[in-house]
Every structure is written in structure tokens, then in C-alpha cells.
Amino acid sequence: MNREQWTAVDEYFTQKFVSADPILEAVLENNASAGLPPIDVAPNQGKFLHLLARIQGARTILEIGTLGGYSTIWLARALPADGRLITLEAAPKHAEVAKANIARAGLESVVEIRLGDALDSLSALADEKQGPFDLIFIDADKKNNPDYFRWALKFSRKGSVIITDNVVRKGAVVDEATSDPNIVGVRQFADLVANKPTVSATAIQTVGSKGYDGFAIALVTEDPR
């Protein structure tokens, strides 16, 4: 088993289950042309997020980490006509590319991009009394995952779903001696989730065109106090 085979399997299931989509294909092309890092979720993972949002019956979504808006579009397409999605992005260039991609997808009325440091944006959302959100997707700098999760809980209700991407880090998450801030952040996040009696969570390892990684999913089982 190697990445070449993992990618072939991803492509197989993408061809089977993910319809060809010129808009999403253009989004990836735009992101590449703009020099954005190729760290978008894979098409089959985007469809997975889309289905989770539909299964959840989400009407409101908070995304922490926009990049070029690829996952944003997958999630926003799961919303009803009166749904809304707020996505947070720290890099002006990324936000600019995402804005154009979201406009191309016809989702300007559904998606709001907040530019700035995510922790500052989350604080501002709290001041505005935004939320609760039905689904929250955490996919930003991993060193701040514990703080992102704490904020996610504040913006949740009983029944909210919190998805956190890239929690396996090619298996490095089990390295207790690591000084890598991203891995430390993921480990601290895992400890935080494990010790929260108000959530029920698990994590899944994934292999595919994006390599070896995984995601965590948490169901909020009690309203915040």
C-alpha cells in the first residue's frame, strides 16, 4: 500500500459517487493559479462534509479556515435557501480568491467571509451574539486547535456537530515527545475533547490523495452553561 494506490482508490470512488462539477474544478484551478497551498480537502472528502451537513439538517455553519473556499462551497451547498455560513480566514490573498470562487458558485448571499485572525474573529462573533451554529468545521492552523474547539463549544447547542480536520498528522499525533506546535496543538485538542463530558467524540484515520491523516467528529450532548 502506498500513496499512489490510495490516490487511485480516491479517484475510483470520486468517479463513482461525486458528479463532475465544472465550478468546483474551476475553484481548484483558481486556487492553484493563485499560488495557494494544495491543502484543500479531496473531492470525496468535500462530498463527505456536504453529506454530514445534510444529515445534520444544518441551517447555520461556522467554518474556521477558508483557504480558497473549496470546502466552504461544499458545505454551503448543503444549506437550505435561507441558510447561512460564516467562514474565517486570516490571509487577505486567500480571502480574495475565496470571495471570487464563492461568487462563481453563486453563493454570495449564503456565505460571509470574515477576514482576520480567527481568534479575533471568534471573539467578535461572540460580541455580536452570533450562533449557535448547527455545524462547525475546524480546519485552520493546528497549534490553535484547543482554542478553536473551546470557541466552537461556545457557539454550539445540544446537537451541534464539530468536525476537526488533519488530526492524525501522518501518525505523528502519537509522538509524546514532539515539539512541533501543530502536533502539540492536536494532542492538546484531543486531551480537551476527551475530558469534556458535554461531547461525544471519535476520530477516524484516512488515507488517500491527500496522504495519511484523519479527522475528529464531536457531537455536543448538552447546551452550554
User: What would the pLDDT profile of 117-164 be if each residue is shown by its tens digit?
Assistant: 999 999 999 999 999 999 999 999 999 999 999 999 999 999 999 999
Q: Can you give the CATH number for the domain in which 144 is found?
A: 3.40.50.150
Q: What pTM was estimated for this model as a whole?
A: 0.96
| Region class of 106: left (phi > 0), else alpha (psi between -120 and 50), else beta | left
Say if 55 falls within a structural domain: yes
Length of the chain: 225
Q: What percent of the chain stands above pLDDT 70?
A: 100
Using DSSP bridges, classify how beta strands 161-165 and 199-208 pair: parallel, antiparallel or unpaired. unpaired
**Cβ count near 176 (within 10 Å):** 6
Q: Number of folded domains in the chain?
A: 1
User: What would the pLDDT profile of 156-200 be if each residue is shown by its tens digit?
Assistant: 999 999 999 999 999 999 999 999 999 999 999 999 999 999 999
Full domain range(s) for residue 162:
3-220
Return all residues near 211 (Cβ < 8 A) that are at least 6 apart. Answer: 3, 6, 170
Amino acid at 155: F
Closest CA to 111 of 97, 123, 99: 99
Bridge partner residues of 203 (DSSP): 216
**pLDDT confidence band for 224 (50 / 70 / 90):** confident
| Region class of 116: left (phi > 0), else alpha (psi between -120 and 50), else beta | left
Q: How far is the C-alpha of 73 from the C-alpha of 63, rounded, in Å?
A: 11
Question: Is the per-residue pLDDT at 30 higher than 80?
Answer: yes
CA angle 218–81–85, rounded 5-degree value: 40
Say if 225 falls within a structural domain: no
Say if 61 falls within a structural domain: yes
Say if 100 falls within a structural domain: yes
Say if 185 falls within a structural domain: yes
